[in-house]
Structure 1
């Protein structure tokens, strides 16, 4: 198969992963607008994802490898990913979905920095330029105008949560690559990651329950939580598996940046739903982010 045909066939699942990721970010934002148990929500997502992943593995006849590298790295990486999504959920309680999604998807910048520092990867002009462009996009979004006093303090805190979520997501990506280089099984790690969402979500729910100052402050459960967990669980399953299919069909340097453009879809969908406004600052940040992802994708070609 010619390189152009490979890229073309890989773009279909990559775009599917993009749409599902953008839609899930919007669902995250919708869920976070009310006081509900975000830990139980995450655990529910993990349960749905685990069931679907096991079903897919059974249909495909895959055999899991329960070696020590797969189990240990799978658990560590899974908890990192669960923690990053918990922080993303918390950040979306006070910031726009377009902003939170954009910062989260710029984890590619942190991945490059960590890969150069801890993995056998070199830093070239394109990577350096991509990192600088990504940092510029974050600085554009971190603005003081429109926020004053306690309101600005809240914005700064939850903006910081989104940044930390992005860093944890990058640690997950680099940790997964490190694990695969040291003999871990991709399929086993994927399953353990899904299970880790159940563990991480339940632990977070327990922490929130025990640390609530009063009974009234404890995050309640309601019927809509089950619907959200089911919907997001299916979306997360599709996000991961469509991206893996895209990587198998094409080049990771092409399909991964494409999938990371999901923040554009999330932003546009949020604007259409009139949840936020597309300001000139956000517009410039989007363009700068696109430039960053492009520079990182062409590096090393």
Structure 2
């Protein structure tokens, strides 16, 4: 089994929980900028308290890669959200999910990670699963506007570099919890500034915390698990596994929220499971 795979699988499940909370918050009418800001406010002090209590808050220059990951993450999520104003989610979501393929390519080229037949097959299956599960057949697409396409491509590249930053920081000796803490403060500060610049004030909806706080907890555990996995194994395997949270989301959506699980999505789930199996042996 690939070293760190169990950590990546745990991260995948928790990222999936976060995705579900995002969906419920959006359905409840909570603004994206405010939701992300409140989530960051809960995330940053929580991870720092956890790292301090567990003795894993080790401030070192290598942890600066976590701050860089926070910057890349904000660029990614902001541009993805903006891309949806002029583009269809059925088109842009699959494109954004493909960031894990770029992460794998960067890890292989820049970090010298191995490229095996099993890994190639796993990445191919993951790509097919993304297309089957996220690209809804018959969804209204229309022409892809250049501005929307540009933003979602920027988001995809930025997310890949965020993932790469995690791995580089860990290889230079950073402690996973400290990396996540550095990312949190960078992301939190920039998200607050962005929200203030956009709205000219900090407008808070009290009941928004009922969604943002659980999302922050889910993502906190997910990031800690992912970075512990990356400390043990290759980014070209573990990042794609963690990014396949859409598998968990699709299953829970069908069981808990009675979302339609048609033949296309069923095939997508089977292909995704095959991808996970190949990642396990690659």
Match of 1:120 among 94, 112, 130: 112
Cα displacement (A) at 1:237: 1.4
1:139-186 per-residue CA deviation (whole Å, 9 max, x = no partner) reads 4457584234xx545899989977765543332121221233345454
Q: What stretches of structure 1 of length at least 5 have no aligned partner?
A: 211-217
Residue of structure 2 equivalent to 1:198: 188
CA distance, structure 1, for counterparts of residue 260 and residue 147 of structure 2: 21
Q: Mark the CA change 1:239 to 1:43 in structure 2 (over 3 Å): closer, same or farther.
A: same
- 3-state secondary structure, aligned to 2:193: helix
Change (3 A) 1:269 1:141: closer
Q: CA RMSD in A?
A: 4.1
Distance 2:139 2:243 in 1: 29
The yes-or-no answer on 1:171 pairing with 2:161 is yes
- Asked if residue 70 in structure 1 is aligned to residue 53 in structure 2, the reply is no
| Displacement of 1:25 | 0.3
Q: Match for 2:252 among 243, 246, 269?
A: 269
1:280 aligns with 2:280: no
Per the TM alignment, residue 75 of structure 1 is displaced from its structure 2 partner at its CA by 1.9
| Closer/same/farther in 2, CA of residues 229 and 89 from structure 1, 3 Å limit | farther
Cα distance in 1 for residues equivalent to 2:188 and 2:17: 21
Query: 3-state SS of the aligned residue for 1:121?
Result: coil
Q: CA deviation at 1:34?
A: 5.2
* TM-score, scaled relative to structure 2: 0.75
> Do structure 1's residue 137 and structure 2's residue 129 form an aligned pair?
yes
Alignment partners' CA distance in 2, 1:81 and 1:227 = 23
Rg bigger for which structure? 1
Shift of 1:267: 0.9
2-side partners of 1:159 and 1:280: how far apart? 29
Instruction: State the Cα deviation string for residues 57-112 of structure 1 (Å, max 9, x = none).
Output: 22222342242x432x222111122333445666789647xx95x77665433321
Distance in 1 between residues matched to 2:107 and 2:270, nearest whole Å: 25
Give the secondary structure class of the aligned counterpart of 1:62: coil
Change (3 A) 1:275 1:117: farther
Distance, in Å, in 1 between the alignment partners of 2:17 and 2:9 is 12
Q: TM-score, normalised by structure 1?
A: 0.71
Q: 1:270 to 1:164 in 2, by over 3 A?
A: farther
Q: How does 1:218-297 map to 2 (within 5 A)?
A: 221-244=204-227, 259-274=242-257, 276-297=259-280
| Aligned equivalents of 1:169, 1:161: Cα separation in 2 | 12
Describe the SS at the equivalent of 1:30: helix
Which residue is equivalent to 2:138?
146
In structure 2, list runs of 5 or more residues that go unmatched.
Answer: none
Deviations 1:215-268 (A, max 9, x none): xxx9964222222221211111122234455667x8668876665553222112
CA spacing shift, 1:284–1:251, aligned 2, 3 Å: same
- Mapped contact 1:78–1:194 kept (Cα < 8 A): yes
The alignment covers a number of residue pairs equal to 278
Match of 1:44 in 2: 38
Distance 1:166 1:220, change over 3 A: same
Tell me what 1:31 maps to. 25
Contact 1:74 1:190 in 2 (8 A): yes
